[in-house]
Structures are given as structure tokens and as C-alpha cells.
Chain A
Amino acid sequence: MLTDFGIILIFFIVGVLFVAAGLFVSSLIRPSHPNKIKNSTYECGEEPIGSPWIKFNIRYYVVALMFLLFEVEIVFLFPWTVVFKQLGWYAFSSMAVFMVILVFGLAYVWGKGDLEWDKPKPYIPKLEDFVDMKD
């Protein structure tokens, strides 16, 4: 009989095999046209090499915040799934409330247009703007 750690080992091996098999099969089927850009390391659409002192587009931060939010939600969901069965409906409804609150957040972000990824239309300040300024 396997110990608990044995099960984990098997789980680990299966996981590795699964990924390897996937990669292997896809390399057989896909067309191969490598170029310089494709071969470079992927870094969220930014230049991976060079000075780190570049200006990120501010939208990244919004997306990152959103991402973080839903990522943290998973952290809460995991322990809940473990005890969900024992705690019953009360736990279910609590988590449902939690999810609804998050959905409200998503709806808010969506409604306010923060998910749109349109080209920025920068406003170039004119002289008058500074002349009229009060302080």
C-alpha cells in the first residue's frame, strides 16, 4: 500500500508526463517558422533586455490590480473547498456572497471602462493652461 507521500509522487510524475506529452505532440503538429522576435523571452509585451528604467503604460497597473484581486480570491477558495462538505449550506452561501462582491467589483471596472485597451490620446498642454492657473 502506498503512503500519502507515494500518492504525491505519482501525482507529480503524472503531471510532468502530461506536460511533456503535450509539448511533444504539439511540436509534431505545428508549423515551425522561428524568427528573432519569436525566439526572444516573453515579458508581457515589454522589451525583455535593456534598461529597466522605462515607463510602463499605466494600464498595466490597473490590469495587475485586477489580476491580483482574482488571484487572491483563489487563495480563499482553496481552503473553503476542503471543508465545504462538512460546513454545508452556510459555507456555500458565505462564499457565494464573497463571489458576488467580487463580481460587483468586476462589473464596476468594466462599467467604468477600465478594461478598454484603447490607444491613449495624450493631451498636449498649451500655454494658456498655465497662464490661467490660479496658484
Chain B
Amino acid sequence: MGPISHSINFLEELQKSVGLFAPETALTVTFLLAIVADLIFRRSRNVTGFIALLGFIATGALLMSNSSTSAFAFNSTYAIDPFANFFKLLILITSYLIVVISFFSAELYHGNRKLGEYYTLIIGMTFGMFILCSSTNLIMIYIGIEAMSLCSYVLSGYTKEIRRSSEASLKYVIYGAVSSGIMIYGISLIYGLTGHLGLAEINHSLNVANLDHITLLVSGMMIIAGFAYKISAVPFHFWTPDVYEGAPVTITAFLSVASKAAGFAALIRFFKVVFAAVPAQGSIPDATWNMLGSIDWRIVIAILSVLTMTLGNLVALKQTNVKRLLAYSSIAHAGYMLMGVTVMSEIGVQSVLVYLVAYMFMNLGAFYVVMQYANLIGSEELEDYTGIGYRAPVLGICMVIFLVSLLGFPSTVGFIGKLYIFSAVLSFAGKNGQNFYWLAIMGVINSAISAYFYIKIVRNMFVRGAEFDKEKFKLSPESLVVALIIVIPTLYFGLFPGAVIRWAETSLKILVGN
């Protein structure tokens, strides 16, 4: 093969890849347009936001149009498969809602702050998360994480005149740098061990060679640390409460949903492609993955999961700031989702997907109401919520629905998520009679513990302060419409979860091998 034909092949590969890369390209174009628009329309503060919304719609259309595609791009460093597509769509919906919600934020629109960069960076972060969802190469994963992180560092400190916010940003950068360092060290160890960076190639090496046990364990743990940081799993959660409390509410919501989703996408892909044995050509793949190597990664994740949910729930019990409380609750939810990862099977993955959809609605909703309340009373302290349910009844009822959904109450979408996660854990039957009944029991105990602090918010909103007859707040109809837009799916999918389950089920296909 001469150099010319080689370069022509390369060109063909590139052309094919660019076609598959269309949604990401659309995001990039949106990003550029937003920058230019920000330069041209100096007076307007919302124009970048509207461009972002339009761009997200276009991206969504492109994603939908190739939703069933399964192909590798860019020399097998990038997988376009239904699994990635699911996460991209989820992230896109989240980004869309976050931009919409941001329009209502008094905190962001305080004074005459310029918001061009704010919306632009949201687009940038979405792009980074897209990369993370699809990467099948450790370096690509790293680039995705960094692209996403860099934007989120800036965004979490966007209200820079508020000390808390600057502090949050700085802490985020420092912890982020440490975890990226650990992860890249793990990557280098894996590379040293196998000589490969592509996930599929590493899988192949694991299959054929007997690799050093300890090195593999250490490097694997280091890479997991990088993902665990993104999904805020214990013991890599330290940044979460401070950043969630300090960042603008909209960004807190964004980090807690989208960035967590992207982290899970990468984590699941990493485990499936690297450690699950590739079924022989033409055979029906096992519903439960056959893990390679002598290390029991299920136990590792199970322990991570128990630690995460227990710590998240126990510490949340004592919180007095609602944002901080929801931060710990989001740590706990990461723990629940890790339960789904633990079993490392198709149904486990599906349960995580279902849970993420549920989590997206209910968590975004809860943060939206927190933001609206902050607009009204200028505080996120639990104490100041006394009787607020009577002063803004519609929002109050919505908040109750979101909170009981987070708690996993039947007839809300959160219940479907929990049901699926527990089902996945209970259905697991490994070799040698391994089962995870204890994990499910830990899960339900945690879910009962969590009732206390979710109900604590409800208590302050409704049970306390029913006596005072304070004036009612006037809310704009649009802000109520947004609340309803989030509350309706929370209830609808709780009663008729068919669509969510079906969507998750068709998105299980993860591309493995070449």
C-alpha cells in the first residue's frame, strides 16, 4: 500500500466519520454562532441562550435521525451506538431545560452581568459530555472529561462576585486536577501493561495474556477514580457539597444530572468493553457479562455503591441548606445507580438508564423549584422555607412531587427507577452462587433513611407555618409552565413507564471490538 492509497483510505475514513459526527458538529457550529452573536448583539443578554436552544433542537434532530446507527468513527476511537445516543439525548434534554431554566434565574441576571459566555460554555460542556459518551479510547475519554470539566469549572464560578461561588470554582478545579492526574496515571499504567489505549484492544490483551494482577487492579482503580469523581461517588465526592452549594443553582442542577450521566456512560462502556468477554461470532451474548481477569470488579463497585449511598444519605440528614442537602442526596442517587452497574449485566445497564431518565426529571425539577424560591425569598436555607408552600402553592405541590419522586414513591417516575435498580440487583445470579441480595437490602434501608430528609423539606414547606397568613407570591405564568413541563413527565412516566423502559431497552447496544 503506497502512501497515496493510504491517505485516500484515511480520507474515506474521515469522510465517513464526519458524517457520523454530525450532532457534535452541530454543537460546535452552535458554539461558534453563539460566540459571534455575543459579539454582535452586545446589548442583548439572552441571544446566546436562544441560539443555544435552537442549536440543541438541531442537534437533537440529528441524533434522532441516526438513532439506530452502530458504527465506529475516527479509527475506532469513537463509537456511535444506541447506548451513546441514549446518553447524548438525555444530556441534550438536560442542557435544553437548563438553558430554559436559566432564563428565570435572578441570581444569574443580577446587576448587568453578561451572560454570553454562560450559555456558550453550556454548549461547550454539552459537547464535552457527548465526546465522553462515545469514546472508546482512553485518551478520547480523557479529552472528553477535560473538555467537560474545563467548562464546568468556569460555570460553577460564574457568579464570581459571590464568594461561595468563587470558592466552589477553585475547589472544583483543584479536586478535578487531582482526579484527572490519578486517572491519567491509571491510563499510563494500563498502556504500559497492554501497550494499547483503545478499549477493545485492551480487552483483547486481557483475553490472551495473563496480566499482572496487582498492576491491573491498581490501574483499574485509578481509572475508576476518574469516573467516580465525575459521578461524585464516595470517596471521590469531597467537591460535591461545596461546589453544589456555591455554584449557581442552574449549574448545580446541570452538574448533578448531565455530568453524572456522562460519567456513567463512560464508566459502563469502560467496564463492558474492557472487562466483559466478547462473545464468539454469531453466538447470542449472555445477558450477564462474563468478566475477564481474576479481579472481581462487581465487588469493587458494590462496595463503592454502598459507601456512596450510605454516606450521602446519612450526611444529608443533618443539612440545613437545601442546595447542600440536594447535593448529598445526589451523591446517594449515584450510589443507587452504581447498584445497577454492580451487576454488570444487560438488565443492570438498563436499570441505570431508566434511573437516569427518572433522575433527570425529578432532580432538575427540585433544583428548579429551589431556584424559584431563591428568587422569591433570596435564600436556600431550610429554615427560610417555613410555610413557603402556602405562599406559592403550585410550586410547592410540584416540589413535593419531585421530592417524593426522589424518595422513590409509587406513582412517580422515581419509583420506576428504584424498582428497576432493585430488580436488576435481585435478578443477578453469578457463578458460584454469587448474589447481591445484601446490596438490595442496603439499598432499601438507605431509601428509607432518605425519607427523613426529603420529608424534612416538605415539613418546612407545609407542616410548619400553616398558621401565618403571609402574602402570596406572584409568579409569572411562564415560570409555572416550566414547572409543569417537568412535573408532568415525572407523574406520567411514573404511571405509564412503558416509553421510558422501551427507550432504555432499545439503547442497550454497546459497540464492542472492531
Contacts and interface: CB of A to CB of B under 8 A. Distances in A.
The interface residues of chain A, by DSSP majority, are classed as helix
B10 to A, nearest CB: 9
Nearest to B36: A104
B35 A104 contact: yes
A129 to B, nearest CB: 11
Given A90-B15, A108-B35, A108-B39, A83 B164 contact: no
Interface residues of B, number: 14
Contacts of B38: 108
A112 B40 CA distance: 11
B163 interface: yes
B287 interface: no
Interface of A: 83, 86-87, 90-91, 101, 104, 107-108, 111-112, 133-135
Contacts of B11: 87, 90-91
B32 interface: yes
Nearest to A108: B35
B66 to A, nearest CB: 21
Contacts of A133: 163
A135 B35 contact: no
22 contacts: A86-B4, A86-B7, A86-B8, A87-B7, A87-B11, A90-B11, A101-B28, A104-B32, A104-B35, A104-B36, A107-B36, A107-B39, A108-B35, A108-B38, A108-B39, A111-B39, A112-B39, A133-B163, A134-B162, A134-B163, A135-B163, A135-B164
A101 B31 CA distance: 10
Contacts of A111: 39
A111 B37 CA distance: 11
B48 to A, nearest CB: 12
A119 to B, nearest CB: 23
The interface residues of chain B, by DSSP majority, are classed as helix
A135 B164 CA distance: 8
Contacts of B28: 101
A108 B4 CA distance: 38
Given A104-B32, A108-B39, 13 more contacts: A83-B7, A86-B4, A87-B7, A87-B11, A90-B15, A91-B11, A104-B35, A104-B36, A108-B38, A112-B39, A133-B163, A134-B162, A135-B163
Given A133-B163, A135-B163, A101 B7 contact: no
Nearest to B18: A94
Contacts of B39: 107-108, 111-112
Interface in B163-195: 163-164
A101 to B, nearest CB: 6
A107 to B, nearest CB: 7
B54 to A, nearest CB: 18
Interface string B1-40: 0001001100100010000000000001000100110110
B102 to A, nearest CB: 21
B271 to A, nearest CB: 34
B150 to A, nearest CB: 13
Contacts of B8: 86
B153 to A, nearest CB: 15
Nearest to A110: B39
Contacts of A101: 28, 32
Contacts of A83: 7
A107 B40 CA distance: 11
Interface in B336-380: none
A111 B4 CA distance: 43
B209 to A, nearest CB: 34
A135 B11 CA distance: 57
Interface in B133-172: 162-164
A83 to B, nearest CB: 5
A84 B36 CA distance: 30
Interface string B430-445: 0000000000000000
B181 to A, nearest CB: 21
Nearest to A112: B39
B243 to A, nearest CB: 16
Contacts of A104: 32, 35-36
Contacts of A108: 35, 38-39
Contacts of B7: 83, 86-87
A108 B39 CA distance: 7
A62 to B, nearest CB: 15
A133 B167 CA distance: 15
A104 B29 CA distance: 11
A112 B117 CA distance: 11
Contacts of B15: 90
Interface string B32-57: 10011011000000000000000000
B485 to A, nearest CB: 33
Contacts of B4: 86
B173 to A, nearest CB: 15
A82 B32 CA distance: 29
A134 B8 CA distance: 63
B61 to A, nearest CB: 21
A132 to B, nearest CB: 11
A75 B343 CA distance: 46
Contacts of B35: 104, 108
B445 to A, nearest CB: 36
A134 B36 CA distance: 36
